[in-house]
Amino acid sequence: MTAPAKRIRITVGGVQLEAELRKTKTAEEVYAALPVTTAISTWGEEFYFPIPGVRDYRETATTQVKVGDIALWGAGKVLAIFFGRTPMSMGADPVPADRVNIIGRIVGDATRFRQVMEVSTIHLEPG
């Protein structure tokens, strides 16, 4: 019997969503680094922020992401949460600035983060 996927809670302002992590080494390191409260930056409808001490094992290296994906951009040592279009989007899907390692996915409606794009901090904790 396999263990269930690990869950985390992500809070930005008044919006709290859960995410399910993939069963990868990189996702395990992100989970082990929690809880984290840090400043966030936005790039279109993407939050990104530093997550110290996490190594990118590059289990995936892709520019193909969907709304709700959570990915580590190893080159920038940041975690990215995609909740809509980015400046590189040609259609409805977000497009990251570079290849990313997808480590999880928002459970529910990730577009709710559009309501809190002016908030300056994010909090992640084990769910």
Q: How do residues 67-94 score in pLDDT, each as one tens digit?
A: 999 999 988 889 999 999 999 999 999 9
CB neighbours of residue 61 within 10 Å = 12
The amino acid sitting at 53 is G
Query: Average per-residue pLDDT in the chain?
Result: 95
pTM equals 0.95
Start-to-end CA span in the chain (Å): 21
